[in-house]
């Protein structure tokens, strides 16, 4: 069966190999007589799935031993509350505004932190640039500094994480890496906590990943629910409450799929990074070389994962989307808050899918020139 190419921003495409394996194991996982969704999260069968997934992810992302990996629920949106509940210490927190998600994050944090400072913003450019870290007005004694390292809606990405120590801040850096986790390496020496929903690059909706430095545990506000207290979750190996077992299982299969990927002598996440650079370059070059399409984001901070573009003649938007669907190019409509188009080209999107989109875009432009 030939599947369409799914450019959804999330829930997003999952590798076909992963779906096929999950389908084969649906009724009976490894001779247990049970499907994964039917297992006790405390039984030996599921614990083996969980332990393998945790070990594979630690290896894939090169997570240091002094960081805890937590499998939680609620998605990135819930983490906008859970992070300040755990890390704000009812003090001052710093935010850098680079798009829709960092805006949502700072609004939520105001419910729990004594003060939220906007230390840098690209709002004046319509979130088409990144504010230079050298210009950030970081707070003295901030509990943490929050950035969204890839803005799904606006198509902005930090290609290098800021070095807060070099900027004179001892605060831990918190990154929302929901939409580019496992697409590139992470410099953990610059990170205190990273979080992200799984539904873009790691698996199905319902699973949330938190990677947190051990020294940041144990500081939750008294009002923090026990199930959201990172210390409690870590001490119970993500089993304090019933975890999203199916999501962990599918994510574990995805981690194994990632381990098998190769590109130019590289493997795993390093291979995916090279592949993702090639996919993004192919699409951006097609947009930049066109008279019909335009991407408004500054070239030095364009996202490799989420590529928004606009037709200069927006009266043709519906025709473009209809033609794309006929060719098996799905979910290209841009977010309702910004309009236009958006191609999300996460790890599961092959280069052939991006090429098919580029071929259609060129055909559409020639037809409507």
Among all residues, which ones are annotated catalytic? 101, 176, 200
The alpha carbon of 179 is separated from its chain's Cα centroid by a whole number of angstroms, namely 2
Residue 234 C-beta-side C-alpha neighbours within 13 Å: 18
Which residue do the tokens 């990172």 mark?
230
Which residue do the tokens 């990996």 mark?
69
Which has the closest alpha carbon to 195: 211, 182, 184, 179? 211
d(CA 128, CA 123): 8
Contact 9, 152 (CB under 8 A): yes
Residue 202 C-beta-side C-alpha neighbours within 13 Å: 31
d(CA 313, CA 293): 9
d(CA 212, CA 59): 16
The token pair that represents 200 in the structure block:
């873009």
């Amino acid at each position: 069966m030939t599947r369409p190419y799914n450019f959804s921003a999330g829930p997003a495409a999952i590798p076909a190999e992963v779906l096929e394996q999950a389908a084969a194991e649906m009724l009976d996982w490894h001779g247990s007589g049970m499907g994964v969704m039917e297992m006790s999260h405390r039984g030996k069968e599921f614990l083996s799935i969980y332990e393998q997934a945790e070990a594979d992810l630690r290896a894939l992302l090169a997570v240091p031993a002094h960081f805890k990996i937590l499998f939680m629920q609620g998605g990135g949106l819930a983490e906008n509350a859970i992070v300040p509940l755990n890390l704000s210490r009812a003090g001052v927190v710093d935010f850098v505004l680079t798009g829709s998600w960092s805006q949502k994050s700072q609004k939520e944090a105001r419910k729990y932190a004594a003060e939220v400072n906007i230390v840098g913003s690209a709002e004046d450019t319509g979130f088409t640039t990144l504010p230079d870290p050298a210009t950030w007005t970081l707070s003295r004694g901030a509990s943490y500094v929050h950035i969204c390292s890839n803005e799904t809606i606006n198509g902005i990405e930090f290609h290098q994480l800021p070095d807060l120590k070099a900027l004179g801040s001892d605060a831990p850096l918190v990154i929302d890496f929901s939409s580019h986790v496992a697409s590139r390496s992470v410099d953990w020496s610059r990170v205190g906590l990273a979080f992200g929903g799984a539904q873009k690059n790691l698996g199905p909706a319902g699973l949330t990943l938190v990677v947190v430095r051990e020294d940041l545990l144990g500081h939750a506000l008294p009002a923090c629910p026990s199930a959201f207290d990172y210390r409690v979750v870590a001490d119970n190996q993500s089993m304090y409450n019933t975890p999203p077992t199916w999501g962990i299982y599918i994510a574990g299969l995805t981690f194994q799929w990632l381990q098998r990927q190769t590109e130019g002598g590289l493997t795993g996440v390093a291979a995916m990074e090279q592949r993702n650079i090639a996919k993004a370059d192919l699409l951006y070059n097609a947009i930049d070389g066109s008279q019909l399409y335009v991407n408004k984001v500054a070239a030095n901070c364009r996202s490799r994962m989420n590529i928004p573009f606009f037709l200069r003649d927006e009266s043709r938007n519906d025709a473009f989307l209809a033609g794309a669907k006929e060719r098996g190019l799905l979910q290209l409509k841009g977010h309702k808050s910004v309009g236009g188009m958006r191609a999300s080209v996460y790890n599961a999107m092959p280069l052939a899918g991006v090429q098919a989109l580029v071929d259609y875009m060129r055909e559409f432009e020639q037809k409507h020139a």
